[in-house]
A and B are shown apart, each in its own frame.
Chain A
Amino acid sequence: MIADTGNVKFTTRDVHVFYGAKEAIKGVDLDINNNEVTALIGPSGCGKSTYLRCLNRMNDTVDSARVTGTIELDGVDIYDRSVDVVQLRARVGMVFQKPNPFPKSIYENVAYGPRIHGLATKKSELDEVVETSLRKAGLWNEVNDRLDTQGTALSGGQQQRLCIARAIAVSPEVILMDEPCSALDPIATARVEELIDELRENYAIVIVTHSMQQAARVSQKTAFFHLGDLVEYGDTEDIFTNPREERTRDYITGRFG
């Protein structure tokens, strides 16, 4: 079930996640490739979001959560003691389900990450980072004349692209997206999907989605999760046209989930 393509960013082996006594992920082996979009699909509660949150150790913030197995980023175990979780999260950015800009100006939203990481010290450098990030997120033309308005005053789709700009402002290597379009209308969704496709050039992207059409549209690799197991992983085309597993077939044809 391990992809044999080169250019691997994340290598995860035998990953288990427990919430107290409940086992949410039951031994997942999965590789995430660079410059590709990997979609994680599956019915609610299958563990795909939990798995995603292992990749930047966001599960650390949940007291009862316990992660076992190895998760390597460029060959280094991210759960090793020597790895600083704050730096890891700068390298592995995250975009959340509900757009969550800081209740500050658009400029401050994007500048916050570079500032705390010391990526830009001078005002001019910071201005540049903000502009490039907003351009990459396809938001610059819409907001360049009102950078000091509140990020929360933007529309839902714009807010989500602002969150993407905020994530790429710290120059991450991987971007994790947890159902980034579930709170957006179809037009805003299309914009974000377009953006994801553009971003693929420079980043490894992992996206959790409930929409199988979305997975089919934006991803190159798809992983199907069910009840904490990784059922099937492969090229998106294969998964959707010729799934090997019965459960995958049932799910993508809408028989359950």
Chain B
Amino acid sequence: MTDTGKTPYFLSERAQKLVRKRYAAERRFRFYGLAMIILALAFLAVLFYTIISQGISGFVVTNIRLPVTFTAEALGVEPGATAEDLKGVSGFKYTKLARRSLNDYLGIPKGDTEDERLSRGLLSNGVDVQLRKILVNDPTLLGSTVEVWLLAHGSVDPFVKGQISRDLPENRRLINDQQMAWLEKLEHDGRVDLRFNSNLFTEGASADPELAGVGVALLGSFFMMVLVVLLALPLGVGAALYLEEFAPKNRFTDLVEVNINNLAAVPSIVFGILGLAVFINYAHLPRSAPIVGGLVLTLMTLPTVIIATRAAIRAVPPSIKEAALGVGASKMQAVFHHVLPLAMPGILTGLIIGLAQAMGETAPLIMVGMVAAVFDFPGSPMDPATALPVQIYIWSGLPERGFVALTSAAIMILLAFLLTMNATAVILRKRFERRW
């Protein structure tokens, strides 16, 4: 440096101050970003903790192990009856078998009406189905005594799981002191255990939490997703291709484009009302059926698919299309042979995100009547069913303690599906992504 006395500008105090300010601003921004991410992760952790801690108990259910004697007399069949005969026996007779064995175990004599009435409250209303299934599977058990795990009543379950304190005064409990004493005796004998709740996956609606499941809802959601893929993919991609590549660019297509973009932001319940008016009232499709739900969800998913497809098509370099046109491909050949395959990862990602959205949708399905309690599995998309999020909504409003756990368990199942779908979208994108 020369000693002419003048410091160069970039070494001056003013310039240095600017530099420090610049660095400080950048540091601050980084800090904000990091802080927001940590905050978001904390919220996510709380959410998962709440759902999982509540829901995990929904995957198990209290069972009582009892020695059940399948007497031909009590069931009203001949000794050596076939599986077919045993299937025809009324459920009440099986229930009586289960009650008899419980009463025998607890030492309640026949005819002691008050104690018999109370002991019924320990067993689920679904024990007849359990016993029938065991006997039909193996008719040779007729006449013998078998140790069987029977479902406990839904009012017993929260006490076994420790969700409701046993120290509550009797008048605030669903089971009284006598029933509690029996439960403790059974527990002491090692005859009470929490076992995997298979009903959660295989059953439909029920007033008893231990018998309720998301099976019907899962099948309903599955039917609807299939319908959405079958309709939204070809329609959405076709519409996007036409608008992007073939439609004349004028006011009218601009208007269509604006409307499609706006359609993506229309509240979903409006689609539900549309479905109610058009598909049920006008087209007379069955109410509560997955076909109507699927059509409504298709309408909802279409804008997402169209927008994603158009973005994916626009992301394909025009040079590829020019190259195809240059060797004498028609516009349609250029688009279908070259542009569409290259846009496919983007299209699939859009579709799966649209599907995940549709899968989690509740409001429009309520409008088309899919909120009914459906006990039987739908045989086709024309039969009544519910959907997973609707089932969650229904359960969340029920007062029994058991449904609280079921609600969270169903949310976990729904989240598992959504995570799987989103992971598939990421994998597809990574897999088919091409660079050029």
Contacts and interface: CB of A to CB of B under 8 A. Distances in A.
- Residue with the highest number of chain A CB atoms closer than 10 Å, among B320, B328, B333, B436: B328
Given A102-B338, A112-B337, A152-B435, A117 B319 contact: no
Given A96-B319, A100-B322, A103-B434, 20 more contacts: A56-B326, A58-B322, A58-B326, A61-B322, A63-B249, A87-B328, A89-B328, A90-B328, A102-B320, A102-B324, A103-B342, A112-B329, A112-B337, A113-B327, A116-B327, A116-B328, A166-B323, A167-B326, A170-B327, A170-B328
Interface in B185-236: none
B377 to A, nearest CB: 46
Contacts of A96: 319, 322-323, 326
Nearest to A91: B328
A42 interface: no
A93 interface: yes
A98 B329 contact: no
Contacts of A152: 435-436
- Residue with the highest number of chain B CB atoms closer than 10 Å, among A90, A102, A166, A170: A102
Contact of B325 (A87, A89, A98): A89
A239 interface: no
Contacts of A100: 317, 319-320, 322-323
Interface in A106-155: 112-113, 116-117, 152
A101 B333 CA distance: 16
A112 B325 CA distance: 11
Classify chain B's interface size. Answer: 20 to 34
A106 B319 CA distance: 17
A89 to B, nearest CB: 4
A116 B325 contact: no
15 contacts: A58-B322, A58-B326, A63-B249, A86-B329, A89-B327, A90-B328, A94-B326, A96-B326, A100-B319, A100-B322, A116-B329, A116-B333, A116-B337, A152-B436, A169-B327
B330 interface: yes
Interface of A: 56, 58, 61, 63, 86-90, 93-96, 98, 100-103, 112-113, 116-117, 152, 163, 166-167, 169-170
A226 to B, nearest CB: 26
B326 A93 contact: yes
Contacts of B325: 58, 61, 89
Given A103-B436, A112-B337, A152-B436, A117 B322 contact: no
Contacts of A113: 327-329
A89 B392 CA distance: 60
Interface of B: 248-249, 317, 319-320, 322-330, 333, 337-338, 342, 434-436
Contacts of B249: 63
A207 to B, nearest CB: 15
Contacts of A58: 322, 325-326
Contacts of A101: 323
B406 to A, nearest CB: 50
A100 B338 CA distance: 12
Contacts of B337: 112, 116
Nearest to B248: A63
Given A102-B338, A103-B342, A103-B434, A112 B322 contact: no
A-B pairs with lowest CB-CB distance, top 8: A90-B328, A113-B327, A100-B319, A94-B326, A89-B328, A100-B323, A103-B434, A86-B330
Given A102-B338, A112-B337, A163 B323 contact: yes
B327 to A, nearest CB: 4
- Residue with the highest number of chain B CB atoms closer than 10 Å, among A63, A94, A103: A103
Nearest to B329: A116
A87 B342 CA distance: 25
Contacts of B322: 58, 61, 96, 100
Contacts of A167: 326-327
A112 B320 contact: no
A167 B435 CA distance: 23
A36 B327 CA distance: 21
A61 to B, nearest CB: 7
Given A112-B337, A116-B333, A103 B320 contact: yes
B327 A93 contact: yes
Nearest to B338: A102
Contacts of B319: 96, 98, 100
Contacts of A90: 327-328
Given A58-B322, A112-B337, A166 B342 contact: no
A223 B325 CA distance: 26
A112 B333 CA distance: 11
Nearest to B323: A100
A117 B328 contact: yes
Contacts of B320: 100, 102-103
Contacts of B338: 102
A166 B327 contact: yes
Contacts of B317: 100
Contacts of B435: 152
A87 B330 CA distance: 9
Nearest to A113: B327
A143 B335 CA distance: 28
A152 B323 CA distance: 13
A101 B317 CA distance: 11
B40 to A, nearest CB: 37
A172 to B, nearest CB: 9
A32 B337 CA distance: 33
Nearest to A89: B328
Nearest to B333: A116
A15 to B, nearest CB: 20
B245 to A, nearest CB: 10
Given A96-B319, A98-B319, A103-B342, A89 B326 contact: yes
B319 to A, nearest CB: 4
B335 to A, nearest CB: 12
Nearest to B321: A61
- Residue with the highest number of chain A CB atoms closer than 10 Å, among B327, B337, B434: B327
A88 B326 CA distance: 10
- Residue with the highest number of chain B CB atoms closer than 10 Å, among A86, A96, A117: A86
B210 to A, nearest CB: 57
Contacts of A163: 323
